[in-house]
Structure 1
Amino acid sequence: MFLPNFHLEGKLAAVTGATKGIGYAIAIAYAEAGADLIVISRTEEDVHRVCREIEQLGRKAYPIIGNVQDYKDIIKQVKETTPYQDIHIWVNNAGVNIRSEAFAVTESEWDQIIQTNMKSAFFLAQFAGEQMKERGEGKIVNVSSVAGHVALRTGVVYGMTKAALIQMTKTLSLEWGKHNIHVNAIGPWYFPTALTEKLLEDEQYVKEIKERTPMRRIGELKELAGAAVFLASEGSNYMTGQTLFVDGGMSIYGF
């Protein structure tokens, strides 16, 4: 038989920023595929709401409430309240963007974006990777962006961090492949999320996006689910260090 298993039954997955947008879509898709979830996000009410949804799907859910900028606290909570040594899948999804032009970027904006999108992603991947190394297997999925591959009009620091995630994905895969740890990334284009909400209210901007996207439309969150499940499943067992762009073809152009 050549068709691999794409189910995630018996797996424990952790997703940061798991209560909204892309992170929510990935968390629910993993639960639908059979995984138990560690749900990590800042807002207690949202975390418990998503945990209830996961439990309604017949899976276990572990709530972790906190900001990934304080990644040490996230790690502490995960160690204290979850079977963290059984983590098979770790998704670095939490992110922030402040769309300032380069001349207007402040040091506080720089620190917030760097700490959320890049610093926390590395140290949380390091934590997850240590558990995976002990067990001899694991999947790490970093949520990058088309902005890490092509230049966009504003958000220079955001683009820098997303490019850094692509490079981090490559380097970690090189170091950790010998431990049977697969490190890959997803590079989304425009999907309806909290980060894009205001932009997608601008009809002219949306028109321009669609004109520059070969598929001529904005993505639907459910269309990320296949890529996320694939990278967490046995179907991607001979794949590491790659960024899978889910972008309607946008990354073949520029913007």
Structure 2
Amino acid sequence: MTVSLTTSLFDLTGRRALITGSSSGIGLELARGLAQHGASVVLNGRDGGRLEAAVHRLRSEGFEASGALFDVTGEAGVKAGVAEVLTTGPIDILVNNAGIQRRISLLDVTLATWDEVLRNNLTSALLVSREVVPAMIARGGGKIICTLSLMSEVGRRTTGPYTASKGGLKMLVKAMCAEWAEHNVQINGIGPGYFETEMTAPLMQDEQFSGWVRGRTPAGRWGQPQELAGAAVFLASKASDFVNGQVIYVDGGMLAIL
């Protein structure tokens, strides 16, 4: 009885999840983790070829997956894209994962680049969430998960636009909680530390920086994208029904020490 109850808390069977920016990297691993626990996953991206390949990959692993090709940075595109997804079924779980990084000093960053990063990392989460949440409220609840960063708490040189966007996203999580928690919608964040992804490949290839990451992280290594899946499953499941407006940092302990 105890094993069955514990298992059911994390069972996502019959639930449908939309994961933005999930053609590769962390987004794809979050989608895979949700699918492994029974969810039907809808992958999103703006490169049709990469999106189709990601959907095929999950299907070949035996998971129920489909694709939604739209750009999360434009209001009209988001409205049309989400509406199309909803014609084929509900969205019980939304993962706002889309994001980019542009490494440049604050003295040198152009307004166009600043706007690009905030639009991809912060504004997109608002645009997609507000298209998805009305149907969640009408059905009596739902789950929204945002991919933040340890840079939602700390900064580093050449990461100003990214840090500002991820700090803003942390506060957007809290603002959405303030507005939608009463409707049984749980909105929380996952804050990755340094993970091995396409986005961090240049940093990993810099042996001095990579060594700094390993030395600065109590776990002594970079994270693997699949290690974020557990936090996503928890926040998407019944196990987190009274968790709202929170951020789970998955960083090997980096934020815990000086």
- TM-score w.r.t. the length of structure 1 is 0.94
Cα distance, 1:229 vs structure 2: 0.8
What is the alpha-carbon distance in structure 1 between the residues aligned to residue 91 and residue 244 of structure 2?
Answer: 18
How far apart are 1:173 and its partner, in Å? 0.9
Partner of 1:175: 179
Shift of 1:221: 1.1
**Deviation at residue 83 of structure 1 after TM alignment:** 3.8
Q: Tell me, what secondary structure is at the counterpart of 1:103?
A: coil
- The residue aligned with 2:137 is 133
Is the contact between residue 85 and residue 131 of structure 1 (CA under 8 Å) also seen in structure 2? no
**Once the two structures are superposed, what CA deviation does each residue of 1:38-86 show, in whole Å capped at 9, x if it has no partner?**
1101211111122123333444323112322124313313322544661
Q: SS of the residue aligned with 2:232?
A: helix
Match of 1:87, SS state, is: coil
Rounded to whole Å, the distance in 1 between the matches of 2:180 and 2:81 is 25
Q: Deviations over 1:78-119 (max 9, x none)?
A: 322544661100000010111111101101101110111111
In structure 2, the partner of 1:23 is 27
Aligned counterparts of 1:212 and 1:137: Cα–Cα separation in 2: 40
**Unaligned 5+ residue runs, structure 1?**
none
Letter in 1 for 2:98: A
5 Å matches for 1:186-225?
186-225=190-229
- Asked whether the 8 Å contact 1:32–1:57 carries over to 2, the reply is no
Q: Secondary structure at the match of 1:91?
A: strand
Residue in structure 1 matching 2:238, options 210, 221, 234: 234
> Does the C-alpha gap of structure 1 residues 14 and 223 become closer, same or farther in structure 2, counting only changes over 3 Å?
same
Correspondence for 2:152: 148
Supply the distance in 1 between the matched residues of 2:61 and 2:207 (Cα, whole angstroms): 37
Whether the 8 Å contact between 1:13 and 1:87 is mirrored in structure 2 is yes
Residue 30 (structure 1) shift = 1.1
Alignment partner of 1:94 out of 98, 103, 122: 98
Q: Distance in 2 between matches of 1:171 and 1:69?
A: 20
Write out the 4+ residue segments of structure 1 that deviate beyond 3 Å after TM superposition. 56-60, 81-85
The one-letter amino acid of 2:144's match is I
CA distance in 1, matches of 2:132, 2:210: 38
The alpha-carbon deviation at position 162 of structure 1 amounts to: 0.3
Counting matched residue pairs gives 254
Written as runs of structure 1 = structure 2, the 5 A alignment for 1:17-96 is 17-83=21-87, 86-96=90-100
Aligned identity (percent) is: 35
Pairwise CA distance, 1:28: 1.1
Is 1:107 matched up with 2:111? yes
Among residues 101, 125, 128, which one is paired with 1:124 in the alignment?
128
Moved more, 169-178 or 48-57: 48-57
CA positional deviation for 1:152: 1.6
Alpha carbons 2:72, 2:127 under 8 Å: kept: no
Alignment deviations for residues 129-168 of structure 1 (CA, whole Å, 9 cap, x no partner):
1111111110000000001111222211110110111111
Which has the larger displacement, 199-208 or 46-55? Answer: 46-55
- The one-letter amino acid of 2:64's match is K
- Say if 1:62 and 1:81, in contact at 8 Å, map to a contact too: no
Contact 1:40–1:64, Cα closer than 8 Å, also in 2:
yes
Is the 1:219–1:248 contact (alpha carbons within 8 Å) kept by the matching residues of 2?
Answer: yes
